[in-house]
Structure 1
Amino acid sequence: MKAGSGSQGTLALIATAALWGSNHVVARAARDAVPLPALVFWRWLPAAVILTIFALPALRQAWPTIRSRLGGLVVGGAVGVGVFSYLLLGGAYQSLAIEVGFINATTPVWVLVLGRWMGGGHLTAGMKGGIALAFAGTLLIISKGQPQALTEFRFSLGNLWSLLAAISFAWFTIRVRDWTRVIAPLPLMVVTGWSGLIVVMLPAYVVCLATGGPWLVWNEADLGFALAATAYVGLAPTMLGNLFYLYGVATLGPARAAAFLYLSPLFSAAFSVLWLGEQLAWYHLGGIAAIFAGLFLLGRFTRKPAGARSDPALVP
């Protein structure tokens, strides 16, 4: 690999982390202007169309393999793209963007937990310690540093949505790892993206319209701001973020590329403070410290079998 391509791959992955970190920050800012079903639908539709155009040659080549697995891909896209998008952006509509970003950082923990559970693997003591630390950090953020909130159900519903988003995407990531062994990432992203769009996002959007909801913006809101916010989350984090990530994986490899994703919640926190005026509290800092410590332990004590392949996971 040439040095230039490695440098460009690094820049692409830093840009990916920044774009994905900004996703729910912009959604938080748009919550009073755009109904959630409209934002989720229009976030993906333009990106899906453009990515499909880019992916046509690869789609034609991969179609026989895709067709034989189409049922599973549709389910995967419905959960990992459609439901995940609602949970992630819905979390941002109801909770601080800082908290959504930090809770979303627990996705690798849930990948390991679900992977071991689905595959029947064994968790070592070190891995269990890492999971416990990350989970404790998540609970600290969800409860806002007040343990009684967990028993009195006074914690933010948006934080619960964000946690469910991390778990649902972890399940999707495990499926992606299997699919990318036989299907290239770009056509896979297009198929699962359209699946989430058609099976989940479109019906929810139609219901919103049928019950009197606006096509994009609430009557009293600024149409220009609504269009700008929707275009940004659709074209920047969704389309460019995935393309940059694919380029970074191609130039640096999936293992090195995945490490850059830990920058995403840090970008999210910075954007939340700068753009939304949110404040970092002690439980945010304590929670993310515990999450990162847990991720470090998981990385240290997780060993892959010789010759095992590390596949890229796409974040829609």
Structure 2
Amino acid sequence: MDEIYAAAGSAMPYLLLTLSALIWSGNFVISRAMNNVIPPAGFVFWRWVVALVVLLPVVLPRLREQWPIVRANLPLVGISGLLGVTLFNFLIYTAMHWTTAINAALVNSAIPIFIIMFARIFYGQRVMLRQHAGIALSLVGVAAIILRGDPSRILTLTFNRGDLLVLLAAIAWGLYSVAIKRYPQGLNPFVFLFSMTVCGLVLLIPFYGYEIARGHVMTFNLPTVLSVLYVGVLASVVAFTAWNHGLRQVGPHVGGQFVHLMPAFSTIMAVAFLGERLQSFHVAGIVLIFAGIICATYKVKG
């Protein structure tokens, strides 16, 4: 029985990272669907306002006790808010106005590469051969889905300024994921998320103000409200908490590989909810992605 509990405990970080990828796949789909209805800065703003409202009852009783830890780590909190709340979300939502889903998924798959690169630069963290092999397998799986099993389709791909924004968002997320390695001991995860959200919203105000000044405002109706609630509660509070916890347990160079699950989950969602047909290249891509993650995360006992 003790071995079962130990196995469940060791698997939990990977389950949390998988849950994050699943939820963010839904966020990716919603952001594409709503890009003409909800302006990007407004989407980010209301998303994180909802998150703050959800977090407030949990954080308020702990904030006074935890404030000394937050104050001592304000640079980390501020940087996390800038990268994870302000820049990443704003860049992704803005990019959806110009780029295609195929290009966004392709560029977004560079995130694990950036995480490994930044972990090497800032922490001197080395990557083992099997982890390189796992990354390569996952990338091949992503490419199989994006190119629909036809390598010649890569010749027809074109890139625009939206793709550049996705690339900048990937860099921001890579830096955020590496920064989490410095997570302060003893800080409640909800207090940390609340604090970085406040910082991120403050930094977002100039972008949101400029957007409103140009007359771009969100129309409040059932689809927009439901979309904001999804990204505010699930994609912000649940997914960020799960991602932060999983990443602290396994490290950014391993946890980052779970980003590759997003194209796989997006495919499954399209089949389940949009009636799209599951094809052989979908299956091959999903199998390769999971094989790559297993290869990158499997620990040899000895």
Identify the TM-score tier after normalising by the shorter chain: 0.7 to 0.9
Alignment of 1:46-65 (within 5 A): 46-65=50-69
Aligned to 1:161: 165
- Count of residues in correspondence between the two structures: 289
Task: Give the Cα–Cα distance (whole angstroms) in 2 for the partners of residues 114 and 206 of structure 1.
Answer: 32
- TM-score with structure 1 length normalisation? 0.70
Deviation at 1:180, TM superposition (A): 4.0
1:28 aligned onto 2:26 = no
- Aligned equivalent of 2:192, options 188, 194, 199: 188
Aligned to 1:89: 93
1:212 aligned onto 2:210 = no
AA in 2 matched with 1:211: R
Alignment of 1:299-314 (within 5 A): 299-300=297-298
Q: Deviations over 1:136-159 (max 9, x none)?
A: 666777888544467xxx235544
Task: Give the Cα–Cα distance (whole angstroms) in 2 for the partners of residues 79 and 175 of structure 1.
Answer: 10
Aligned to 1:232: 230
Aligned to 2:121: 117
Change (3 A) 1:240 1:294: closer
Change (3 A) 1:233 1:165: same
AA in 1 matched with 2:84: G
Gaps of 5+ in 2: none
Gaps of 5+ in 1: 304-316
Deviation at 1:110, TM superposition (A): 2.9
- Aligned equivalent of 1:38, options 36, 42, 45: 42
Task: Give the Cα–Cα distance (whole angstroms) in 1 for the partners of residues 100 and 282 of structure 2.
Answer: 11
Contact 1:38 1:205 in 2 (8 A): yes
Aligned to 2:206: 203
- TM-score with structure 2 length normalisation? 0.73
Q: Deviations over 1:58-104 (max 9, x none)?
A: 32222112112213321221112210112333344444557656754
Change (3 A) 1:238 1:162: same
Greater alpha carbon shift after TM alignment, 43-52 vs 271-280: 271-280
Aligned to 1:267: 265
Change (3 A) 1:291 1:254: same
Aligned to 1:314: none
Task: Give the Cα–Cα distance (whole angstroms) in 2 for the partners of residues 177 and 92 of structure 1.
Answer: 30
Q: Percent identity?
A: 27
Change (3 A) 1:130 1:240: closer
Deviation at 1:28, TM superposition (A): 1.2
Q: Deviations over 1:269-300 (max 9, x none)?
A: 22234545678888877766665555444335
Deviation at 1:22, TM superposition (A): 0.7
Change (3 A) 1:48 1:129: same
1:175 aligned onto 2:179 = yes
Change (3 A) 1:24 1:147: closer
Contact 1:20 1:237 in 2 (8 A): yes
Greater alpha carbon shift after TM alignment, 27-36 vs 100-109: 100-109
Q: Say which SS state the counterpart of residue 60 (structure 2) adopts.
A: helix
Task: Give the Cα–Cα distance (whole angstroms) in 2 for the partners of residues 296 and 270 of structure 1.
Answer: 19
Aligned to 1:73: 77
Contact 2:103 2:163 in 1 (8 A): yes
Task: Give the Cα–Cα distance (whole angstroms) in 2 for the partners of residues 69 and 228 of structure 1.
Answer: 34
Change (3 A) 1:157 1:129: farther
Change (3 A) 1:299 1:148: same
Task: Give the Cα–Cα distance (whole angstroms) in 1 for the partners of residues 66 and 129 of structure 2.
Answer: 41
Task: Give the Cα–Cα distance (whole angstroms) in 2 for the partners of residues 212 and 164 of structure 1.
Answer: 26
Contact 1:185 1:246 in 2 (8 A): no
